[in-house]
Amino acid sequence: MKTGISSEKAGDMYEVAKETYAKFGVSSDRAIKEALALPISVHCWQGDDLVGFEGGGSLSGSGLMTTGNYPGRARNGDELRKDAEFAFSLIPGKKRFSLHSFYAETNGKKVSRDSITPEHFTEWMKWSKKRKIPLDFNPSFFAHPMADSGYTLASSDTKVRKFWIRHARACRRIASAFGGNQEGPAVCDIWIPDGSKDYPADRLSPRERLRDALDEILSEKIPASTITDALECKLFGIGSEAYVTGSHEFYMSYAVKKQIKLCLDTGHFHPTETIADKISAALLFVPGLLVHFSRGLRWDSDHVTTFSDETRDACREIKRAGAFSRVDLALDYFDASINRVAAWVIGTRSLRKALLESLLEPTHLIVDAEKRGKTHERLALMEECKTLPFSSVWDKLCLNAKVPISAAWLGNVDEYERTVLNKRK
């Protein structure tokens, strides 16, 4: 597909845009540089529908669901890495790659989740080093017989609870090994599905057990130079409509008490609630945030992230708070109904766009208007910003990063689909 303008034309248009932004006191050159340097952690699970390499336990009971049957799902580590590399060639800026524990490569041997070690991620770490793609990690508390009851770390069954505690401890060591293999720590995000379909009579006991389990998991001291722990809250899931043990209040309080990063997933709140307003509040009390950029459609449906108001508002809030150094940016969605590589490219490019847009905002002018009590100016500036020549700066960012501009990347995806994905039967 030959969509988009020539590099030459894009260059010319950028010069005009640059002048326009300069009139607002913004250096678009600097914004491009900063936007390219912000790492986005791309989630491996969009590449294979969250199936993993264990032989695929059912997602049922976890509240997670991938729908669709587009051809070309990656079936092993080599395919997943190849697809990710291809997607990365179309995505501008710094990337990380986030793995779930069941992407361990065990040479066909069955290794229990409480016994996995860094050794099972040797291929990933080699790849990470070679491609200079830092890794992040996630213990997987679902798609496993021990999660069938719907409870893991909060289970009343000691055997079950202990199993998952051992799993989480094993995962923190793996994340730490990643951190030792790359520049800077690996983010290790704990999310559990625990909850109840209908109203529980006892909401307290599972939360007490979860608190104690987390205490046990996190008691193992691992240097912050290799691991960044994060805890992910949720409002509800399919099958946990009435009650989620790891709710927002639970993890917010726990994270504040233990000074751990809080993970805010854009799909994990009431549909009329967005995370933008939570960022400045939480940042006052926790060391930092992990944001999972997703797109809930009517529910936590994990649609592909887009350049939506929600994505843009969240990025703007981080920028306005001067908090990019304290917020880890990650993606979390899974759509099997469309080309999976394109899904990666769309979501990551959209988030990068929103980051660039936030960095191009003449925040100083808007804040100044507010300080002077000129709130009509504040609103007017916010509105005018929406129609500044952003697209020309975005194209220039892509040119600088040597990735296709505009929709030209669709041609590359088309070819990859024909020559690689369609051959997977």
Residue of the chain from 49, 136, 194, 232 that contacts ligand RNT (CB under 6 A): 232
How far apart are CB 166 and ligand RNT at their closest, in Å? Answer: 19
The entry of ligand RNT, Zn ion, none that residue 138 binds, CB within 5 to 8 Å by partner kind: ligand RNT
Measured from the Cβ of residue 378, the count of other Cβ atoms closer than 10 Å reads: 18
How far apart are CB 334 and ligand RNT at their closest, in Å? Answer: 7
Measured from the Cβ of residue 242, the count of other Cβ atoms closer than 10 Å reads: 13
Query: Given the complex with Zn ion, which of 45 and 127 has the nearer CB atom?
Result: 45
Select which of 232, 310, 317, 328 is catalytic. Answer: 232
What mask, x for binding Zn ion by CB under 5 A, covers residues 292 to 321? Answer: x-----------------------------
Residue of the chain from 103, 163, 191, 394 that contacts ligand RNT (CB under 6 A): 191
Task: Give the C-alpha distances (Å, rounded to integers) separating 12 from 3, 27, 249, 334, 404.
Answer: 18, 17, 51, 38, 17
Segment 275-304, which members bind ligand RNT (CB under 6 A)?
Answer: 292, 300
302 is catalytic: yes
The verdict on 234 binding Zn ion (CB under 5 A) reads no
How far apart are CB 365 and ligand RNT at their closest, in Å? Answer: 36
Distance CA 37, CA 17 (A): 21
How far apart are CB 261 and Zn ion at their closest, in Å? Answer: 13
Segment 239-278, which members bind Zn ion (CB under 5 A)?
Answer: 265
The residue of the chain with the least Cβ separation from ligand RNT equals 191
- Cβ neighbors of 73 (< 8 A, separation 6 or more) are 47, 48, 49, 51, 336, 340, 424
Burial classification of residue 195, based on how many CB atoms lie within 10 Å of its CB (0-12 exposed, 13-18 middle, 19 or more buried):
buried
CB 172 within 8 A of CB 188: yes
Distance CA 312, CA 332 (A): 16
Distance CA 302, CA 197 (A): 20
232 is catalytic: yes
Residue of the chain from 96, 209, 234, 378 that contacts ligand RNT (CB under 6 A): 234
With vertex at residue 391, the alpha carbon angle to CA 90 and CA 42, rounded to the nearest 5 degrees, is 35
Using CA atoms in the order 27, 32, 33, 34, what is the torsion angle rounded to 10 degrees? Answer: 90
Residue of the chain from 265, 310, 313, 361 that contacts ligand RNT (CB under 6 A): 265
Select which of 234, 261, 353, 396 is catalytic. Answer: 234
Select which of 317, 332, 335, 361 is catalytic. Answer: 332
Residue of the chain from 49, 136, 332, 361 that contacts ligand RNT (CB under 6 A): 332
12 is catalytic: no
- Cβ neighbors of 329 (< 8 A, separation 6 or more) are 38, 39, 40, 41, 291, 293, 351, 355
What mask, x for binding Zn ion by CB under 5 A, covers residues 363 to 392? Answer: ------------------------------
Phi, psi of 57 (to 5 degrees): -70, 160
Q: Would the CA dihedral through 130, 174, 101, 92 be positive or negative?
A: negative
Residue of the chain from 332, 335, 361, 395 that contacts Zn ion (CB under 5 A): 332
Query: Given the complex with Zn ion, which of 292 and 295 has the nearer CB atom?
Result: 292
300 is catalytic: yes
Distance CA 219, CA 197 (A): 31
How would you classify the pairing of strands 95-100 and 40-43? Answer: parallel
Distance CA 290, CA 200 (A): 30
Residue of the chain from 14, 38, 42, 45 that contacts ligand RNT (CB under 6 A): 45
48 is catalytic: no
Query: Given the complex with ligand RNT, which of 45 and 307 has the nearer CB atom?
Result: 45
191 is catalytic: yes
Q: Would the CA dihedral through 194, 195, 196, 201 be positive or negative?
A: positive
Q: Which residues bind ligand RNT (CB under 6 A)?
A: 45, 50, 64, 138, 191, 232, 234, 265, 292, 300, 332
Task: Report the catalytic residues.
Answer: 191, 232, 234, 265, 268, 292, 300, 302, 332
Q: Which residues bind Zn ion (CB under 5 A)?
A: 265, 292, 332
